[in-house]
Structure 1
Amino acid sequence: MVFSLFAKELRLIFQDKSMYFWMLALPIVFIVIFSTIFSGADAENGNAVGQIVPGYTVMFMFFIMISIVQHFLRDRDSGMLARLSSTSIRPVPFMLGMWLPHIVVLLIQSAVLLGFGRAVYGLSLGNIASVIMIVLALAICATGLGLVLAMLSRSLNAAIAIVQIVTFGGAVLGGLWFPFSSLPEGVQAVGQFTPQRWALQALQAAMLEQAGLQAAEVWQAVLLLFMIGAAAAGAAILLYRRFAEKSFRT
């Protein structure tokens, strides 16, 4: 069940042409534009590219939440969830089958964006194993939050508005656009509680291979991001039955 649903969802995601724009084309355009604008400027940790590429990679990973909401609302409004409720299929396998494809998409997206930064701008990827762990943990976090949002959403338009707040608000507070140290103290105080801040800080430490700092920051970020994602996914499972009941009313 999980594998068949996984394969179906992954195929549907790749058939959605808008995904290529939001997840790949647009972030690459942003990276090129801002890398050109700040080509002579040094960022806090190395250079402008070391701020811009991982910063926009982290930011655009959260757009996957729109796809997750869209797919769940599609199944709810089409009556599919009502039909599933009459079978032996349990909520957890169904949620896994819907969740895992989006994690795969984020892993591909981050590989393309960071690879682009490496190939075009010579971005140092530093400790590859650490970078992979951070990206995986962030993918679990972003998609887990997407699951909760899907369970609570009444419409796609409302969900898109929330995703924009989370994405752009987190980008500002988390220092994805500008070095975190250049932000006002009040913004920094709030930004410390955003997953975007933890992810970027850990990525920069891993890429710069700051030996004394790297291990602590990487493991703290990985653990925190994983815990957020797992807690969000758990909450989504608890909310699933109420969400599925709405399928009977459509």
Structure 2
Amino acid sequence: MRSIISLELLKNLQDRGLIFWMLILPILFTVLFISVFTTGTEGVAREQVILSIVPGYTVMFVFFITITMIANFIKDRELGMTARLASTPLPPYKYLLGKWIPYMYIVFIQIVVLFLFGKIVYDVPLEQPFFLLITSLLLTFTVTGIGLALSLLVKTNNMGIAITQVIALGGAVLSGLWMPIDMMPSFIQTFSKFLPQYWTHQAFQQGMEGSMELSELLLPNTVLLVYGILAFTIAILRYPAFLKMARG
């Protein structure tokens, strides 16, 4: 399993396209939308916009890691790598963990870099770093878990890209990552509470401004944990069918 982790990390660190998707593009979008939505605003109003956009766009862009995960799983399947590994004594869950864990590292680094960017450039407060750390780790677990499940479910790269767009962009709109959730229709506000993006955004905002109580940390992180466990369960159940499609 360690060799799989090392190989996946090496491949992704050499992928310049991944750096663009995970760091450069989120930073560009953050700068652009903050400049647009803070035009003509000052003081507290400006700070609130920034406090919404920085964590909001962080949450939205971490979901794009699923595109890379899907592409790599399909590539391994088509090149026969999956079949060769399946012929070894390596248990399926260790294969999946070996492919999964490197992306956890990548997403966590992405979150840290985007938060540091917000802190350095826009002086975003990070009043409760421990709460932010816990939520970041669970968000990493959930997002990559969803990516793992999708990697074993979809059959083509194009299908994976389409589903990722729906989850990332659709979830962003419905969860209040683009605009305050209070401005949305009541039925969307109700629906948003079933989405991990909504709870993560709320937890990040409260943790940044220092208004979260320890008891309030439980609900958003429980939602993230449930989504992550459900996704990994789906991946385990889907693996035999995925293996049947593998060449070799």
TM-score, normalised on structure 1? 0.94
Give the CA RMSD over aligned residues.
1.6
Q: For residues 95-150 of structure 1, give each alpha carbon's deviation from its aligned partner in whole angstroms, at most 9, with x where no partner exists.
A: 01110100100110011101000000000011111101111111111111111111
Match of 2:241 in 1: 242
CA contact (8 A) 1:138 1:199 kept: yes
Give the 3-state SS of the residue equivalent to 2:246 in structure 1: helix
Q: For residues 17-74 of structure 1, give each alpha carbon's deviation from its aligned partner in whole angstroms, at most 9, with x where no partner exists.
A: 1111111011000110111112226888951110000000000000011111111111
Give the 3-state SS of the residue equivalent to 1:177 in structure 2: coil
| Distance (whole Å) between structure 1 residues aligned to residue 228 and residue 59 of structure 2 | 15
CA contact (8 A) 1:173 1:187 kept: yes
Match of 2:73 in 1: 72
Match of 1:156 in 2: 157
Identity of paired residues, percent?
38
CA contact (8 A) 1:148 1:235 kept: yes
| Distance (whole Å) between structure 2 residues aligned to residue 44 and residue 90 of structure 1 | 54
Residue 30 to residue 44, structure 1, CA distance change in 2 (3 Å): same
Spell out the pairing of 1:1-250 with structure 2 (5 A cutoff).
Answer: 2-39=1-38, 40=41, 47-210=48-211, 213-248=212-247
| Distance (whole Å) between structure 2 residues aligned to residue 214 and residue 162 of structure 1 | 35
| Distance (whole Å) between structure 2 residues aligned to residue 44 and residue 132 of structure 1 | 26
CA contact (8 A) 1:38 1:48 kept: yes
Q: Which amino acid aligns with 1:100?
A: I
CA contact (8 A) 1:141 1:225 kept: yes
| Distance (whole Å) between structure 1 residues aligned to residue 43 and residue 68 of structure 2 | 35
Give the 3-state SS of the residue equivalent to 2:230 in structure 1: helix
Cα offset for 1:214?
3.1
Cα offset for 1:237?
1.1
Segments of 5+ residues of structure 2 without an aligned counterpart are: none
Q: Which amino acid aligns with 1:202?
A: A
CA contact (8 A) 1:45 1:51 kept: no
| Distance (whole Å) between structure 2 residues aligned to residue 8 and residue 182 of structure 1 | 46
| Distance (whole Å) between structure 2 residues aligned to residue 184 and residue 41 of structure 1 | 27
Give the 3-state SS of the residue equivalent to 2:178 in structure 1: coil
Segments of 5+ residues of structure 1 without an aligned counterpart are: none
The number of residues matched between the two structures is: 246
TM-score, normalised on structure 2? 0.95
Q: For residues 222-245 of structure 1, give each alpha carbon's deviation from its aligned partner in whole angstroms, at most 9, with x where no partner exists.
A: 121012111211210111111011
| Distance (whole Å) between structure 2 residues aligned to residue 43 and residue 236 of structure 1 | 45
Q: Which amino acid aligns with 2:71?
A: Q
| Distance (whole Å) between structure 2 residues aligned to residue 129 and residue 3 of structure 1 | 29
| Distance (whole Å) between structure 2 residues aligned to residue 191 and residue 95 of structure 1 | 30
| Distance (whole Å) between structure 1 residues aligned to residue 115 and residue 221 of structure 2 | 18
